[in-house]
Amino acid sequence: MSRRFRKPLEKKSVRDAKKGERGEKRGGKPTFAKKPSEKRGPGQRAFDRPDARFGDQKPRRPAKALHEALPEVREEKVSAPLPTKVQTVVVTADENNMRVDRFLEAHFPGLSFSHIQRIVRKGELRVNGKRADSKDRLNEGDNVRIPPLKLDAPKTGGNLSEAGSKVLDELRKMVLFEDADVMVLNKPAGLAVQGGSGLTRHVDGMLEVMRDAKGQRPRLVHRLDRETSGCLLIAKTRFAASTLTGSFRHRSARKIYWALVAGVPKPKQGRISTYLAKEENEEDSIMRIAAHGDEGAAHAVTYYAVVEASAQKLAWVSLKPVTGRTHQLRAHMAHIGHAIVGDPKYFNKENWQLPGGLQNRLHLLARRIVIPHPRGGVIDVTAPLPPHMLQSWNLLGLEADRFDPIENAPEE
């Protein structure tokens, strides 16, 4: 399901944003929930109504593709040429605190995520003469050494192979929204977004079959964990990739997740604020709760709201991350004692039995994404429950069309 609006995404007032501060971590109850019975005010959009429902299945008039609606803006911006030799770029004030991979994406939108990860992993990219991780943060004045770069070679030979045609068909079945610049996929649980150790099948690789005649291919602009399903935003043009990456960097994107957690959080609405840092071991890595000033620690903020509970055993929780740290939602819910059902990394409740009939898989869905469109208006896309979560909702008698109070949570 997708919705488009011409108005830009509205900002919350300072007074509304402060309401959530009383719910810092587990204390206090933020007052961002509104009664579903409130009437729609003059000029109020359906998205802003307190009684708007994610499960609303009413048919909507399909939006025109942007190249039809706005033909006068079809010309793309020219991106920076890729360096053919080693060069050093100085981080500007506007780029302060930007992640290394986002810095490269902003400067060279034509690069694939896999290419960026490869040059970082090999140590070809250096910050102030030292190796850097793709998630490291840059400071104004840093010197970033960038090696020679090149776009992945375009496919030749014209028609796709039989295998390529199957991959293209798989991608088409995932599409929730698409126009000339942007595509939103409903990523299934179990499909990785990017390649990694031992991974040969992932969304980034599958997008190779969508290269155009000029050799350009769609690009990832954010990520989801492998076992998380739902809305995955894809840029189809270099201009869109650069613009959407900027929207994520400036937190103009609104993301809402649904999860099934152990127990029922109290209070039922709250704000979780911690520092997170990566903890490596021989077999795996996780994000641990850290203290301010710890090496690699980054601030993470999440708003949560209980939508419906099943006795006191399980709860359907809606989540709005303000920041976008690795495993943020999973680590935060485990931190307050209500880990997400089926989470192999963070579920740490002893002697807890999964109710009969529920699958032991991660119950986390990237339910909705709202982000300014690169050429004006707003992209608003909602993903359905994946099969294993739909089965759980049905078994527990949870009503997927209930009012979700997280819509009114602050953006800060």
Q: What mean pLDDT comes out for the span 167-182?
A: 94
CATH fold, domain 1-39+49-54+160-412, is Pseudouridine synthase (3.30.2350)
Marked catalytic residue, from 225, 343, 380, 404 = 225
Q: Using the predicted structure, report yes or no on whether residue 365 has a pLDDT greater than 60.
A: yes
Residue pLDDT, tens place only, 149-174: 765 544 444 577 888 899 999 999 99
3-state helix, strand, coil in the chain (%, to 5): 25, 25, 50
pLDDT digits (tens, 9 = 90+) for 377-400: 999 999 999 999 999 999 999 999
Superfamily of the domain at 87-146: RNA-binding S4 domain (3.10.290.10)
Tens-place pLDDT, residues 279-293? 887 677 899 999 999
End-to-end CA distance of the chain: 27
Lowest mean pLDDT among 57-71, 160-174, 210-224, 324-338: 57-71
Q: What is the pLDDT of residue 15?
A: 47
Residue in 398, 391, 387, 389 with CA at minimum distance from that of residue 340:
389
CA proximity to 3, closest of 281, 410, 409, 377: 377
User: Is 225 in the active site?
Assistant: yes
**Domain ranges within the chain, ordered by starting residue:** 1-39+49-54+160-412, 87-146
Per-residue buried b or exposed e for 322-358, using 16+ beta carbons within 10 Å of the residue's own CB: bebbbbbbbbbbbbbebbbbbbebbbeeeeeeeeeeb
- For the residues 307-328, what does the mean pLDDT come to? 94
Residue 40 has pLDDT above 50, yes or no: no
